[in-house]
Amino acid sequence: MHPLKSARYRPRAMPDKPNYFREAVGLPAHKVLLLVGVVASLAGLWRGHGWPLLAFLVAEAFYLFILPTLPAFRAWVGRNKAGEAAHQKAINLDRIASRLSPNAKARLDGVTRVRGKVLDSMHAMSAPDSMLRDWTVKLDELVNAALRILVAVDGTRVDDRDQRFLQSEIKDLEAEVAKANEGPAKAAKQQRLDLLKKRAGGTGLLKEQREAAVTQLETLEDLLKDLQDQALAGRDAAAFGQRMASLQVQIQAAGETVAMLDRQSETSSELAVLKAGK
């Protein structure tokens, strides 16, 4: 099995909304507050004073129930999450690039470079934050679709020598079946012949599917460049948003293309086993 077979690039699920309460509880500052509050409360109670405990409970209540609702805190959490996501994306892209051929790496660099330019231009538009987030999700879906096809195409090899090998095997086996007497041996040869013919048809279909996938990848690359041109032209947010929404069909088609390549590439794996047994 090709090493890329087990490393298909799949789009990440849309991230859940941050749990601001959990984020507040997990901060180091909260742990310090707990430690100081508990120590001060115990010391106060030891001396017969209850106000340190009361002050600690008030501070803790404010921290847990007020802080998570503050816009500044939520914005801070959003920036942190975005930074973590960007870091993880960079790691994933590096992992993908390490498995790609030089030509595929160049195309990967091109796709990610265009994504960055589109993203920068989007943020320069006068659009609400909610709309920008929605556009970013759709842009990432489009980029992920292109990357999935790129990885699938790069991990699928179609060699004309494979087809010639199969045709030679089929020709020899047909001659053996024609000469063989009726019986278990002939039935076994006929079964093997039928399997070889099926594999021969599969390699031809794999080549067609791969060529179709390459064409679709080029289409997605063109769509990304078109988005870049539209964003740089400074078109109004509504028109750009409609353009982003219309890309869903291409994204779904990309997923179907990758699935078909996955199914057809099994023929290549079977053929490799067949050759090894010669």
* Phi-psi sector, 234: left (phi>0), alpha (psi -120 to 50), beta: left
| pLDDT (tens digit per residue) in 188-221 | 777 776 666 666 555 556 677 777 777 877 887 8
Our count of domains for the chain comes to 1
Q: Tell me whether residue 197 is in a domain.
A: no
| pLDDT (tens digit per residue) in 219-246 | 878 888 887 777 766 666 777 777 777 7
| Biggest alpha carbon–alpha carbon distance for the chain | 107
CA 24, CA 77: separation in Å to the nearest integer? 9
Q: Tell me whether residue 47 is in a domain.
A: yes
> Range of 65's domain?
1-85
User: What pLDDT sits at residue 273?
Assistant: 41
CB 9 within 8 A of CB 144: yes
Q: Tell me whether residue 66 is in a domain.
A: yes
User: What pLDDT sits at residue 12?
Assistant: 44
CA torsion 138-141-146-152 (nearest 10°) is: -170
CA 220, CA 149: separation in Å to the nearest integer? 10
CA 220, CA 234: separation in Å to the nearest integer? 21
**Neighbour-count burial of 98, counting CB atoms closer than 10 A to its CB (0-12 exposed, 13-18 middle, 19+ buried):** exposed
Q: Tell me whether residue 194 is in a domain.
A: no
**What string of DSSP letters covers 50-81?**
-HHHHHHHHHHHHHHHTGGG-HHHHHHHHHHH
Q: Which amino acid is at 83?
A: G
CA 203, CA 271: separation in Å to the nearest integer? 9
Q: Tell me whether residue 277 is in a domain.
A: no
Assign 14 a pLDDT band (cuts: 50, 70, 90): very low
Q: Tell me whether residue 249 is in a domain.
A: no
Q: Tell me whether residue 75 is in a domain.
A: yes
Q: Tell me whether residue 31 is in a domain.
A: yes
**What does each C-alpha distance from 89 to 84, 106, 143, 147, 265 come to in angstroms?**
9, 18, 12, 12, 27
